A and B are shown apart, each in its own frame.
Chain A
């Protein structure tokens, strides 16, 4: 594929996220199991529809990461965040044994991103989480690299099926490198082609006409 004129804002990865990145916004929409440590008057309808009262202190509810992060305050008790199970000790042991067998898409799909973001909430388990997330990446890297650099002109859906979002984007980069090189070897590299934007746009318009 030739140089694309559209490059989206890249995700931040790690603890900082990128304000304008669509990926990071979607990541921060992930739900976390939370417990309120104070009452939220007049917001009861968010928990039970039709309720005009308060969210009581001690209510268990799921909150998107962005909200939990916004409310969380290590000095005041506002909200307590529980670890999603894939980051708890049981799963950490599984990752420690062989991270390659885990379906990170099903368990994620933002395994690394969410794992890093969880470190914003003080927890004695934080060092272990950070360690597991890093080791998981290090040990899965070989497979991502090999599969992305070997699969040429074949259906790759089985290869990416179990990858988390960040791994998928690495896979795509590997494929692009391989693909560009193979095109060059076949002498097609200097061929100018129609913009994929224009082509896809036409395809979509056609599909709309059909429907």
Chain B
């Protein structure tokens, strides 16, 4: 998957905005939106929130977790524990980037948030590689991907799947005697 496709999926997440315009309910295939009233918070998908924000039609309310104190806690927890800790959103990385790039004026301490999320990401990616290596070296057959997010898996997917395929074939070599040896390839 291209990261732009992962980001596209993240744009379906809901976020609260405070519009500065009025509009009746809009009926879309993906669900109804609105009604919009100036000053009244309303939930919309991220793609719409960013579009409205770009046209200065709203203010975006950052999600609860996009907060320095909460993120510091998450970062410490991630560093302390060997397993992957649950993230506040399955799209924490994408949402951080989208909202900070388009609405940093609505998010307090934007730079600190960016650093905290990046630190957490780096810790998790290091863990991901460590566990990928132990998966291979112990020749495991399956693993749980609990608490890993799509973007994280995506960075290693191709390499890891190909490696596992190769390893599987090399392991099959260990069980000879199958009549595949009779295959006629030139």
Contact = CB atoms under 8 A, between A and B. Distances in A.
B162 A170 contact: yes
A7 interface: no
Interface string B170-186: 11111010001101111
A183 B154 CA distance: 14
Contact of B172 (A15, A138, A145, A173): A15
Contact of A141 (B155, B163, B172, B176): B163
Most buried by A among B136, B155, B183: B155
Contacts of A33: none
Contacts of B167: 134, 137-138
B76 interface: no
B159 A112 contact: no
Interface in B140-183: 151, 154-159, 162-163, 165-167, 169-174, 176, 180-181, 183
Contacts of B137: 138-139, 141-142
A133 interface: yes
Interface stretch (A35-43, A76-84, A124-132, A200-208): A124-132
Interface string A162-200: 000010011001101110110111010110000000000
Given A70-B186, A170-B166, A134 B157 contact: no
Nearest to A14: B169
Contacts, number: 122
Chain B's interface: helix, strand, loop or mixed, by majority? helix
A178 B158 CA distance: 11
A115 B58 CA distance: 64
B162 A190 contact: no
B3 A116 contact: no
Interface string B1-17: 01110010000000000
Q: Which among B7, B139, B163, B170 has the greatest number of chain A C-beta atoms within 10 A?
A: B170
A79 to B, nearest CB: 15
Contacts of B151: 181
A98 B137 CA distance: 14
Given A116-B173, A119-B173, 18 more contacts: A3-B2, A13-B170, A15-B169, A16-B183, A19-B185, A24-B185, A28-B185, A70-B184, A133-B170, A133-B173, A137-B167, A138-B136, A141-B137, A148-B159, A170-B163, A176-B158, A180-B2, A189-B4
22 contacts: A2-B2, A13-B166, A14-B173, A15-B181, A17-B185, A28-B185, A69-B186, A70-B186, A116-B173, A119-B176, A145-B129, A145-B163, A149-B129, A149-B159, A170-B162, A170-B163, A174-B159, A177-B159, A181-B3, A184-B3, A187-B101, A190-B7
Interface of A: 2-3, 12-17, 19, 24, 28, 66-67, 69-70, 112, 116, 119-120, 126-127, 130-131, 133-134, 137-139, 141-142, 145-146, 148-149, 166, 169-170, 173-174, 176-178, 180-181, 183-185, 187, 189-190
